[in-house]
Structure 1
C-alpha cells in the first residue's frame, strides 16, 4: 500500500479516498456511508492486487 500523506486543502474541490479492506463487503459498506453523506461517485466492484491481502476501492 502507498504511504498516506496529509494535505491541507484551502478551498473546496475534488477529494479522492482510497479504501483498503479485508473483503468486498467492508469496502462497499464504507463507500455507502460516504455516499449517504456526500456526493460520492460509487464503484460497482473492488479490485484485488495479486499477492496482496484484502481488496481496494477508490471513491471520488
Structure 2
C-alpha cells in the first residue's frame, strides 16, 4: 500500500501497517492501539492472494490520547 504524504505532514503522526496470522488477531491489535492513541480505528482487514496472513493499516496521532480534542 502506498503511503499518503498528507498523513505524515507533522511530528507525532504515524502510519502503522499490521500483518497478522488471522483477522481476529489483526482486529485485537487495532483495538489495543486505539486504547493508546487517537487512531483511525479498526480498519478493514485485507487478505493478499498468494501471501500468508492478513494486513491492515492504521493512522495514529501519538500526541493525543483517545477521545481528546485538539
What interval of TM-score do these two structures reach, taking the shorter chain for normalisation? 0.7 to 0.9
TM-score with structure 2 setting the length: 0.65
Superposition deviation, residue 44 in structure 1: 3.9
Unaligned ranges ≥5, structure 2: 1-9, 60-70
More strand by share: 2
Unaligned ranges ≥5, structure 1: 1-10
Q: Which consecutive segments of 4 or more residues in structure 1 shift more than 3 A? A: none
Q: CA RMSD in A?
A: 1.4
Q: How many residues align?
A: 50
Q: Does 1:13 align with 2:4?
A: no
